[in-house]
Each structure stands twice: as C-alpha cells, then as structure tokens.
Chains A and B, each alone.
Chain A
C-alpha cells in the first residue's frame, strides 16, 4: 500500500475515463470502479514487506463490462480490466508526469501538431506478434474509424489526423490542431495498443477476446459471472510508473461480478474474494473492526452526486423555487445518517479533489427552511392542498426526479427519499421515479424531467463545460441535459477550456461554481468516494492516477 500514488490536487488536465452520457444514465455506475487518488491511508499494511510472486487474486466488482475492445467501450470497469491486458505508449506517474512505456522517448513539433514516438524493442503481443509502429497506427486508426462506433476512445483523439509509420521503431502521429491533453489521452487504457492482427478480426471478437501486450493475458469471460486473466510470463516492459520490473507478481486475476452490495461485501468477509469495491457505507464499521481486512478509500474527483435542476420548464424555471429547493434540504444530517459519516456532504458541484474546486463556497448555503418557505411564498405558491403541498392557481408544486431502477447504487435512492421528505416540509411535492433504464433514457433524451441526479468523474473543472455549455447538448454527445443556453456560463467555461493560463482557468471555474449555486442550477448532495475492502493478504494494491485500482504491483502474502 506504500506504493499507492497520491493524486488529488496535483493532477493537471489528465483525461480521466469519463464517459459522457454513461454518467448521465449510470449515475453511480461510473463512480463504481473509479476513485480519485486518496490521501487517506487507513488500513494499509506494513510498508517494508518484500513482494512475493504467486497466487491468484479475486476482485469482486459491482460493474461488468459490455465489451472489452478499449476502442469501443466507455465504462470504468472496462478500463480497470483493460489496463492489465493492454499497454499504452506512455504511462503516468502519481504526480501526473508522463513517463515512457511502449514509447521509449518522443518529441513534439514546435507547432504542437506532430508527435514522433520512438518505440521499445522486444515487445510481443499475447498472440506472439511483435509490437512496432504499424500497431500504433492500427490502434489509433481503429479508435477513430466510424465503423468502430467508439463511445470514448474516438473522442480522446478528436484532434487526430493520421499516424505515419516512419520505420518499425518510429511512429509519427499528426494532429489537426494542437491538443495539450493528447499525451495523457494516449496514456489511458482506452488507447492501449492492440495487436494489428487482432484488430483485423470482427467487432464481436474484439469485444470478447482482447489481445494486447500487457502484464496479464485474457483467459475467459463468462457473462454475469467472472472474467479471468493470467500472468503474462514474458512481460519485460513494465511502465516507468510501476514500482517493479518484469512480470506481475500475481499468477492471475479473476474479476468477479457481484452487483448486490450485501453479497459483495459478504464475499470479502467470508474469504471468497480478496478485494471488493463499493463497500456499502453501512458495512465500513464492520470492515474497520475486522483485523484480517483492510479498508482503502479514495474521494472521487469531478462532479459530486448532485441534482441538476431543469430551469427550462415550470416550476423550476423560477429561480426562487430552485433556491427554495436548494435551501430546504438538511444535507448534514441526511448524509451523516445515510452514509454513517463515510461520505461528506457537498458544497459545490465540483468535488474537493477536483482541480478548480472553489473552497469558498463551503458553509455558504446552509439549510434554511424558513427562507425556503419565504421564497416559495414570494414565487406565488401560497395555497396549500389537502396533502400539505403548495399550489398556485390550483396546480400543485410538483417536481419530478427520474432515475433508472437498475442504476440505484450507493444508497442514492435513500438519499432521494430524504430529499423528498425535506422538500415536503416546505410544501414541494418531489416525485422520485425509479423506472426501467430504457424508459429512463427515453425521458433523458426528451428532457422530460425536472431533476436529474448523478455524478461524473473527471479530474478538473472542465466537466462543468460538459454539463452546462450550450454546445454540449445531449444529442451532440454532451451532458447539457436541458439544452441550457446561458451566456455567462458559456463565456466562463469555454474560455477556461481554451486558455493555457492556469490562473484564468481556476478563476473562471470558481466563478462558474458560484454562479451555479447563486442561480440554484444544481443542488450538490454528496462527495462520492470509492470504498474498497481488501484482505490483509493483499499488498501493493494502488489507486492509479486515473483513480482506478491497479494490480501490476499487487502481491499476496503467503504467510497469512
């Protein structure tokens, strides 16, 4: 655990595995396997133990991938799994520095549009073929090929023009425009290098039988059960960011898919698996009290679990009603109770570990139901109906919050009921509708909802642009659910995304966060965290800079 990398505020514009609408729909789903670099070091075992090779690790995870083609699938769990199967050209250290991996060195042209990579020799894919410049070209071309229908990797290469194979050991990537995030994108598992022979296979085979050059080879994947990886014994090209060279310590990793919270935690305590993610907050006390288990946590960067309010239609088009909702919720009490103190309440739309977080918002909008009542009175919702809800012109003050039934994780449905009860106290009829995912997506795309609740993961404040800029409409692959067209936000967020001046960015993001709270465009609820439980046997488990769990340095203590 000593090898765990500290991330958090030091991260620069690292391109995190964020999935546009996946987050919109998946609410907790995306948060699932991801976790920001954490400063919390509870439960880490002794640092001086010597790693021992051998043993298989079973990791129970809440999510299951849809497809293992890194060029196609956007989900977090796919990234966690693929990180073990695929290597990237570059690696990222804890501090966000870019280090060599499959590329031993690289140069950037003065105009910032051409990257020339010198490639490592002796790397072999799992199918036996040798890694060279054609593999780089094949991988990147695959990601941007429309036929791939990439849901994430293609977006990472939005500036990509072509790859030139200079010679087998040299590849040159040409961009249409400079892109400061390019190297970081290249370092994500989504752009992990695939075997060119493998890429010639059908989309179906790419999804189900991935072939990379990573420290683990793919063995099998049984839907709804598990996915098995085995050690690649020939592995000699560990990334510079890792703490050891040569093959991985583990003989194999089994990702077991257990979506039920109780069962997943039970699998850990009964010794059936060695690591689990998304430990229910209610079980943390049990986890801490158990000496044969360790507890690791990492706050998630990006958008906190928040309610995005729809200001484009009645009744939330009235800022007074939105403000009333913001001030009606007694978050401190609710969050402490539901999450047993393991999650913090949120003060801003950005989580505290996000670059650009505005700390000055903390404590500025405490619960004030008297104020909420006053605001609603002012807004004309003065009458009450038989159920105690406010009405205006005979119409009840009703707001609808929709979510997908299969997506309710992390006790968010419980938080929703708490919010609902507080809203009722000031006379707002908040309807929380948990529906089938297909129906929910229909409502999302028709913007037929007043409240969307969920979180996104991203390292910096640019996520605000994704969620609020007018050119980020949902049909264009963005996250602006309600088609907002707010000049102030557009100016602040677009400027922040194009400038290279960090100070301007920080200032703009801070202003945007304040603007969002001032205008009650959102009600931030909780700061998400990934709560990981592991057996005491497990050593060297670390959170990546990308905040996923990494297993390359992980080893099992045979004495326990």
Chain B
C-alpha cells in the first residue's frame, strides 16, 4: 500500500468516528434538553394517557437510556436514520427532499461570493488606489452587518417596493437571486481579503517577474499566473465555508420563506425531533469530513512536503 492510500484509509476510518461522534453529541444534547419529546411531538396537543403511553413505547422512551443509545447506534450503522417525529416521514426522505434547495442556495451564494471577491482581489491587490480603499471599506461593511438584516433590507427594497423578485420561495431562478445575494454578501468580505493576500504574495514570486519580463500585460499576469496561486488559501477555508453556508441558510431560509435543510433543522431542534436532528448532524459531519479529506488530499498531491504535516 502506498503511503497516500494508507493515509486515506486512516482518515476515512477516523471520519467515521467523527460522524458517529457528531450523531452522539446531537443525541446526547436532545437527552438533556428539557421537554418531553412525546408531548412536543403531539404538536402540543394534550394526548390521552393511553395515546401518550403508546407513543412513548413506540419511540422507545420507556427503555433505559443505554438501551436507546445502543439501538440508535445500531440503526445508524445500518444506515437507518429513523423516522421524523414531527413530519411523520423517514428522515432520509426528509433530508433528501430538503437538501437540494439548500445546496442550490449554498452553491449560488458561494459562486457569487467567489466571483465578486476574485474580481475585487484582482483589481485591487498590491495597489494603493482609491478603488482599493473603496473595496476594503465595502468588504468591511459586509463583514460587519448581520446577514438577516441585509436580507430584510433586500426583501423590502427589491420585493416589496420594486417587486422585481418574488417575496417567498419558488423554484425559479429569480426566487434564488435575493437569498443567494444575502448569503454571498457575508462571504465576499472574507473571500476578497484572503484572495487579495494570496494574490499579493503570488505577485512577488519569480514566475510573475518572468511573466512580466516576457511582456505579459498586468491584467494577464494577474489572471493567468497569479490568481491560480492566490486560490490555494481558499481551499484551506473549505470547511469554514461549508459551516457558514449551512448556518447562514437557517437565517436566509427563514427570511425568504424557503424550504431547506437549515430551516427544517432549526424547527427540529425546537421540536425535539431527535431522529431528524441526529440525521442532519450525520449529514453535516459527513460532508464536513469528506471535504476536509479532499482538501488534505489535494495538498498532498500539490505539495509533497505537506505529508509531514498532515497526519
């Protein structure tokens, strides 16, 4: 086995631990959280004692905690996420149906933020112009303004007043514009700073000098040679980005009345919907760990020196 294959096998094994750990944390949190899941599951209706007992039994709440945890783990390892208490559907189905709108939103938000930030970075890196100042100021404002507030302002201006975009939901592309912009605005500031810094560093490299010596124009140098190198630190951010996108999705989906994983998870936490919360934890942890492995793998491939560092 090559060292990379061994490394990969070890990382994958560890990531299973992380995923089970995440599910356990969610499971544990919902055990100590106040509130009887059966009562909450009933949508707050006071059930008759018989219905209450039967539901408790069906959900397994009449068994001791270790037994429940064991069953939970067994199910999880078989790939069974259980059934949502509140939605009366299998968790896998719920997540399956809610994942795509969130992924759509996240991709759109990320793509937008990436393009805008790259443009800002290319235009302003290493320059002390008025544009740089303006760009930095704008980035600062974006970082410093709560996303939900931006969303509300956009909604008021472009949906209520100008009526350019639908107020709520919708599969259509125009329904995605404002939510994606809201999500992107929170990221642009960070992205632009990271890329600008990377770009400035790349511009000092010898290959840039030689490109310039060959007579390439400044824009060409920046786009063709330097930008690629400036993107490497962005890869480092992958995990952070995923977390921010998912967390941001809770707010954006709430403001724009969109369906999606973020909003359904927030509701599930409030509703003590244990299978759904643990299911989302599993999915989030899986995405997170796989992404990290991919990033580290990429580093190993790009730069063999990293083998020493990335265990």
Q: Note whether A and B contact each other (Cβ less than 8 A).
A: yes
The reply to whether the CB of B135 lies closer than 8 angstroms to some CB of chain A is: no
Which residues of B20-47 are within 8 A (CB) of A? 33-37, 39-40, 42-47
CB under 8 Å from chain B, chain A span 206-263: 207-208, 222-226, 256-260, 262-263
Instruction: Evaluate contact between B34 and A442: CB separation under 8 angstroms.
Output: yes
Q: Complex formed: what's the CA distance from A154 to B46 in Å? A: 13
**A74 to B43, Cβ gap below 8 A?**
yes
Classify chain B: how many residues form its interface, as a range. 35 or more
- Is there a chain B Cβ closer than 8 Å to A468's Cβ? no
Contact A224 B263, CB 8 Å, known A66-B88, A438-B40? yes
**7 A-B residue pairings within 8 Å (CB atoms):** A21-B46, A60-B168, A67-B88, A152-B45, A223-B98, A256-B168, A267-B166
| A256-278 interface with B by 8 A CB criterion | 256-260, 262-264, 266-267, 269-272
Taking a contact as CB atoms under 8 Å apart, the answer to whether B88 and A438 are in contact is no
A19, B167: Cα distance in complex, Å: 32
Asked whether, in the complex, the Cβ of A26 is within 8 Å of the Cβ of B44, the reply is: yes
Contact between B98 and A437 (Cβ–Cβ < 8 Å)?
no
On chain B, the residues within 8 Å of A25 by CB distance are 43-44
Q: Which of B35, B155, B257 contacts A438 (CB 8 A)?
A: B35
Task: From B7-15, B48-56, B195-203, B280-288, give the one contacting chain A.
Answer: B48-56
On chain A, the residues within 8 Å of B90 by CB distance are 204
Instruction: Tell me the bound Cα distance from A19 to B39 in angstroms.
Output: 14
Partner of A207, one of B35, B88, B256, B258: B88
> Is the CB–CB distance between A442 and B88 below 8 Å?
no
Query: Which residue of B35, B45, B167 contacts A442 across the interface (Cβ within 8 Å)?
Result: B35
For B83-106 the 0/1 string (1 means CB < 8 A from A) is 100111110001001100000000
A478 at interface, CB cutoff 8 A? yes
With both chains docked as a complex, state the minimum distance between the C-beta of B250 and any C-beta of chain A, in angstroms.
12
Contact (Cβ within 8 A) B46 A474: yes
User: When chains A and B are docked, how far (Å) is the Cα of A208 from the Cα of B90?
Assistant: 12
- Whether A66 lies near B47 (C-beta < 8 A) is no
Q: Are B49 and A149 in contact (CB under 8 A)?
A: no
Inter-subunit contact A223/B87 (CB<8 Å): yes
Which one of A26, A225, A262, A441 contacts B39 once the chains associate, using CB atoms below 8 Å? A441
In the complex, which residues 133-153 of chain A have their Cβ closer than 8 Å to any Cβ of chain B?
A: 146-147, 149-152
User: Closest residue of chain B to A207, judged by CB?
Assistant: B88
Q: How far is the CA of A284 from the CA of B155 in the complex (A)?
A: 20
- Can you name the residue of chain B whose Cβ is closest to the Cβ of A26? B44
Check B45–A438 contact: CB distance below 8 A.
Answer: no
> Does residue A499 face the partner (Cβ distance < 8 Å to B)?
no
Residues B49 and A406 in contact, CB atoms below 8 Å apart: no
User: Which listed residue, B40, B98, B155, B167, touches A224 by the CB 8 Å rule?
Assistant: B98
| Contact partners of A154 in chain B: CB under 8 A | 48
Contacts of B48 in A (CB 8 A): 154, 476-477
Number of interchain pairs (Cβ within 8 Å): 159
Using an 8 Å CB-CB cutoff, how does the interface string of A149-161 with B read, 1 for contact, 0 for none? 1111010000000
Contacts of B97 in A (CB 8 A): 222-223
Contacts of B255 in A (CB 8 A): 260, 263
**Complex: A271 Cα to B162 Cα, angstroms:** 12
Contact pick for B167, options A67, A73, A270, A441, CB 8 Å: A270
Chain B 150-190 interface mask (CB, 8 Å, partner A; 1/0): 00100110011001001111000000000000000000000
A520 CA to B40 CA, complexed, in Å: 30
Docked complex Cα distance between A256 and B168 (Å): 9
Question: How close is B153's CB to chain A, nearest CB, in angstroms?
Answer: 12
Question: How far apart are B41's CB and chain A's nearest CB, in angstroms?
Answer: 9
Verify if A90 is at the interface (C-beta below 8 Å from B).
no
- Alpha-carbon distance between A263 and B94 when the two chains are bound, in angstroms: 25
Residues of A within 8 A of B47 (CB): 149, 151, 477
Contact across chains for A22 and B45 when beta carbons are under 8 A apart: yes
Bound Cα distance from A466 to B256, whole angstroms: 39
* Complexed CA–CA distance, A207 and B85 (Å): 12
Across-interface contacts of B44 in A (CB, < 8 A): 21-22, 24-26, 437, 441
B52 to chain A, nearest CB (A): 8
Query: In the complex the two chains form, what is the Cα distance from A260 to B255 in whole Å?
Result: 7
Cα distance, A149 to B48, chains bound together (Å): 9
* CB-CB under 8 A for A225 and B169, given A24-B44, A66-B43, A208-B89: yes
B91 → chain A, closest Cβ, in Å?
A: 12
Tell whether, in the assembled complex, residue B83 and residue A476 are in contact, meaning their CB atoms are under 8 Å apart: no
